[in-house]
C-alpha cells in the first residue's frame, strides 16, 4: 500500500496578485531546458491524430519542436496529409497570443509551419532504400545531427515508422560505423505499437536504439499500454477500474470544445478512442512526475521496462496496485496510464481555457513546487545511508493564483522501484509529516531490515538501490490542477 500524509495549506500570493494584466513574469510557467521532439503522424487516418496534435500544441512551450511530419501507416498506405498539420498549426496560431499570457516559451507560428514535413506516400519498407529520401527523412537526419547524447531527439511515432527507417538507412549507408552509432545514441523513440513493417525492421537492425513500444500481435491494440489513455470501453479491459466519463465525448464537449475559442471548438469527436497517440509525448511534459530517460519510473505516458537488464528496447510493464472506481486494485500495463486520468484530463481542460482569454486571473494555473530550495520539474537525487532519515522541505512552494488552496500529498512511489510483482520487494519508507504538510521526514529502514527481508535477494528487484518519494500538489481552481516533484533516494551500499 502507499504511505501518504496529506495536508491543506492556504497559499498566500508571494509574487503577484491575480489581476487582469500580469506584469511579473515570475509567476508564468517557464523552463530552462526542453526536450527536442520530432513527431511522425498518420494524420487523416482517423480523428485521434488531430486530437493528439491539438493537445500536443497546447504544450508546445514544454518542447523544442524540431518537426511534425505526415506519414503513412497500415491504415493510410498511399497518402500523406501535411496540409492538415499546417491547418491545425494555423488554428493554434490564432490563440497563441492568449497562451503567452499564461506561460512563457511558445514557438512562433511561422516557425512551426516551417517545420511541417511529409514522408513518401508509400507503405512501410517500400519507402526505405536508395532514392527513397523525403523532406521528412532529410529533416529528421538534420534534427538528430543537431542533438547530442545528453540532449537527444525524441521521435513520437503515431503511425508508421518508415520516415525514421529511411533516416537510419541513409546514415548507415553514408557514414562510418562509429558515426552511425553516434547518430543512433542521440535518438529516443516512443512508438504507438507497430503500424507498418518498418518498426520491427528498425529494432532488428539497430538493437542499441532507445525504443519504447508495446510489442504484440499486429493491430491487437487492446494489449498495448497506450490504450490506457481512454480505450477501456472500446478494447474491453480493466472494466470498472478507470473513470470512463473523463474520456467520453460528453465530457470533452463540456470541458474542451466549449472552452470559448475556435481552437477548442474544432477539437474533433473521436471515432474509436480518444487520442490513442497522446501517450507518446505525455512523459515529455514537464510536470515533475516523469523522467524522460527512465521509462520504468512511469508518468502520464505509462511505465515501460527493458526487455533485458542492458537492453535499450522498452516494452509493457505493470502498475502498482492502482485503485479503480470499483474499489479494486489494478496492476495492468494500461493502468500505468489511466491511473493519472483525472490529472491529464483536467490539465488539458485548464490549458484549453487559456486559449480563450488573455486574462491571467480568469483561469487556473498549476502550483509551483520547490523542495529543499530547488524548483523546476527535474527530479531530486539524494544519497542516504540505510537507517537514517532525510528532511524534504516544500515551504517555498506557491500557487500563482492567490485565492487557491493547495493540498500537498507525499507518498512512496513503489512502482518506480519495482520490476517484479511481489509486495515485499521494495523497502518501505516511513514518511512523517511536519510543518502543516509542507515538510516531511523520510525514515529509511536499517541495512539489516533491508537485507533480512530479502529486498535484494534477486537481480532487478530495485533499480540500483533507488527508492522514490513523490510530492503531489493539487489546487482547488476550476478545473483543479496538479504539479509533482519526484525525489529519488539512493541507498548507499545497495547497487
pLDDT digits (tens, 9 = 90+) for 404-424: 799 999 999 999 987 654 555
Both 273 and 151 in a single domain? yes
Confidence of residue 25 (pLDDT cuts 50, 70, 90): low
Question: Is omega for the bond preceding 329 within 30 degrees of 0, making it cis?
Answer: no
411 domain residue, yes or no: yes
What CA dihedral angle connects 372, 378, 383 and 388, to 10 degrees?
50
Both 160 and 219 in a single domain? yes
Taking the C-alpha atoms of residue 466 and residue 449, their distance in angstroms, rounded to an integer, is: 16
132 domain residue, yes or no: yes
- CATH number at 311 reads 3.90.245.10
18 domain residue, yes or no: no
Grid look-up 491539438 returns 54
Q: What's the mean pLDDT in 352-381? A: 98
pLDDT at 16 over 90: no
Determine contact, residues 450/494, Cβ cutoff 8 Å: yes
pLDDT of residue 482: 99
110 domain residue, yes or no: yes
Average pLDDT, the chain: 92
Q: Give the residue from 300, 323, 338 where a domain finishes.
A: 338
Both 333 and 407 in a single domain? no
Both 386 and 295 in a single domain? no
Both 127 and 201 in a single domain? yes
pLDDT of residue 21: 38
388 domain residue, yes or no: yes
Give the angle 313-340-91 at the CA atoms, nearest 5°. 90
Taking the C-alpha atoms of residue 232 and residue 273, their distance in angstroms, rounded to an integer, is: 9
116 domain residue, yes or no: yes
pLDDT of residue 455: 53
349 domain residue, yes or no: no
Confidence of residue 45 (pLDDT cuts 50, 70, 90): confident
DSSP character for 256? I
How many residues can be counted in the chain? 495
310 domain residue, yes or no: yes
Both 104 and 250 in a single domain? yes
Determine contact, residues 349/267, Cβ cutoff 8 Å: no
pLDDT of residue 342: 99
pLDDT at 427 over 90: no
Q: Percentage of the chain surpassing pLDDT 70? A: 91
Both 425 and 320 in a single domain? no
Q: What's the mean pLDDT in 374-383? A: 97
The predicted model scores a pTM of: 0.93
Burial (CB < 10 A; 0-12, 13-18, 19+), residue 75, is middle
Q: Which three cell numbers stand for residue 88?
A: 491545425
Confidence of residue 314 (pLDDT cuts 50, 70, 90): very high
Confidence of residue 457 (pLDDT cuts 50, 70, 90): very low
pLDDT of residue 452: 75
Confidence of residue 46 (pLDDT cuts 50, 70, 90): confident
Stretch among 80-84, 116-120, 422-426 having the lowest mean pLDDT? 422-426
Both 219 and 122 in a single domain? yes
Q: How many structural domains is the chain composed of?
A: 2
Angle between helices 198-205 and 162-174 (to 10 degrees): 30
Q: Answer with the residue of higher pLDDT: 20 or 379.
A: 379
pLDDT of residue 92: 99
pLDDT at 3 over 60: no
Determine contact, residues 430/443, Cβ cutoff 8 Å: yes
Taking the C-alpha atoms of residue 336 and residue 228, their distance in angstroms, rounded to an integer, is: 8
pLDDT at 462 over 70: no
- CATH number at 446 reads 2.60.40.10
Confidence of residue 112 (pLDDT cuts 50, 70, 90): very high
Q: Answer with the residue of higher pLDDT: 428 or 98.
A: 98
pLDDT of residue 26: 66
- Direct distance between the N- and C-terminal alpha carbons of the chain, in angstroms, rounded to an integer: 24
Distance set, CA 22 to CA 59, 147, 239, 282 (Å): 20, 35, 45, 28
Both 92 and 219 in a single domain? yes
Both 334 and 379 in a single domain? no
Both 314 and 192 in a single domain? yes
Both 389 and 332 in a single domain? no
pLDDT at 15 over 50: no
User: Domain range holding 399?
Assistant: 4-11+366-491
pLDDT tens-digit readout, 185-216:
999 999 999 999 999 999 999 999 999 999 99
Confidence of residue 23 (pLDDT cuts 50, 70, 90): very low
Q: What's the mean pLDDT in 336-359? A: 99
pLDDT of residue 454: 56
Confidence of residue 381 (pLDDT cuts 50, 70, 90): very high
Q: What's the mean pLDDT in 223-236? A: 98
Amino acid at each position: 500500500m502507499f504511505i501518504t500524509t496529506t495536508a491543506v495549506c492556504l497559499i498566500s500570493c508571494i509574487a503577484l496578485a491575480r489581476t487582469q494584466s500580469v506584469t511579473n513574469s515570475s509567476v508564468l510557467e517557464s523552463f530552462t531546458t526542453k526536450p527536442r521532439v520530432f513527431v511522425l503522424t498518420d494524420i487523416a487516418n482517423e480523428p485521434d491524430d488531430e486530437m493528439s496534435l491539438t493537445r500536443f500544441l497546447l504544450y508546445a512551450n514544454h518542447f523544442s519542436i524540431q518537426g511534425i511530419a505526415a506519414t503513412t501507416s497500415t491504415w493510410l498506405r498511399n497518402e500523406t496529409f501535411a496540409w492538415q498539420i499546417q491547418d491545425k498549426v494555423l488554428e493554434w496560431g490564432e490563440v497563441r497570443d492568449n497562451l503567452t499570457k499564461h506561460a512563457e516559451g511558445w514557438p512562433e507560428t511561422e516557425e512551426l509551419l516551417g517545420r511541417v514535413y511529409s514522408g513518401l506516400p508509400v507503405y512501410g519498407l517500400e519507402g526505405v532504400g536508395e532514392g527513397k529520401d523525403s523532406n521528412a527523412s532529410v529533416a529528421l537526419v538534420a534534427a538528430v545531427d543537431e542533438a547530442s547524447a545528453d540532449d537527444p531527439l525524441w521521435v513520437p511515432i503515431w503511425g508508421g515508422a518508415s520516415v525514421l527507417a529511411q533516416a537510419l538507412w541513409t546514415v548507415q549507408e553514408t557514414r562510418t560505423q562509429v558515426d552511425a552509432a553516434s547518430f543512433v545514441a542521440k535518438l529516443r523513440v516512443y512508438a504507438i505499437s507497430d503500424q507498418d513493417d518498418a518498426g520491427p525492421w528498425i529494432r532488428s537492425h539497430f538493437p542499441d536504439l532507445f525504443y519504447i513500444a508495446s510489442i504484440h500481435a499486429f493491430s491487437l491494440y487492446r494489449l498495448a499500454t497506450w490504450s490506457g489513455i481512454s480505450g477501456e470501453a472500446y478494447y474491453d479491459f480493466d472494466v470498472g477500474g478507470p473513470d470512463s466519463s473523463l474520456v467520453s465525448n460528453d465530457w470533452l464537449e463540456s470541458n474542451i470544445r466549449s472552452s470559448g475559442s475556435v481552437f477548442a471548438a474544432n477539437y474533433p469527436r473521436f471515432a474509436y478512442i480518444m487520442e490513442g497517440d497522446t501517450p507518446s509525448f505525455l512523459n515529455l511534459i514537464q510536470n515533475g512526475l516523469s523522467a524522460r530517460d527512465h521509462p520504468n519510473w512511469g508518468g502520464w505516458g505509462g511505465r515501460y521496462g527493458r526487455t533485458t537488464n542492458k537492453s535499450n528496447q522498452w516494452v509493457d510493464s505493470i502498475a502498482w496496485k492502482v485503485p479503480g472506481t470499483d474499489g479494486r486494485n489494478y496492476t495492468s500495463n494500461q493502468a500505468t496510464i489511466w491511473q493519472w486520468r483525472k490529472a491529464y484530463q483536467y490539465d488539458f481542460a485548464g490549458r484549453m481555457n487559456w486559449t480563450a482569454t488573455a486574462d491571467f486571473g480568469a483561469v487556473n494555473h498549476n502550483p509551483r513546487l520547490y523542495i529543499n530550495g530547488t524548483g523546476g520539474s527535474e527530479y531530486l537525487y539524494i544519497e542516504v545511508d540505510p537507517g537514517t532519515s532525510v528532511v524534504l522541505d516544500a515551504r517555498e512552494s506557491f500557487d500563482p493564483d492567490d485565492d487557491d488552496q493547495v493540498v500537498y500529498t507525499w507518498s512512496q512511489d513503489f512502482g518506480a522501484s519495482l520490476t517484479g510483482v511481489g509486495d515485499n520487494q521494495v523497502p518501505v519508507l516511513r514518511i512523517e509529516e511536519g510543518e502543516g504538510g509542507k515538510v516531511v521526514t523520510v525514515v529509511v529502514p536499517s541495512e539489516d531490515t533491508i537485507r533480512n527481508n530479502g529486498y535484494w535477494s534477486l537481480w532487478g528487484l530495485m533499480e540500483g538501490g533507488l527508492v522514490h518519494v513523490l510530492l503531489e500538489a493539487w489546487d482547488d481552481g476550476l478545473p483543479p490542477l496538479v504539479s509533482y516533484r519526484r525525489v529519488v533516494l539512493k541507498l548507499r551500499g545497495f547497487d
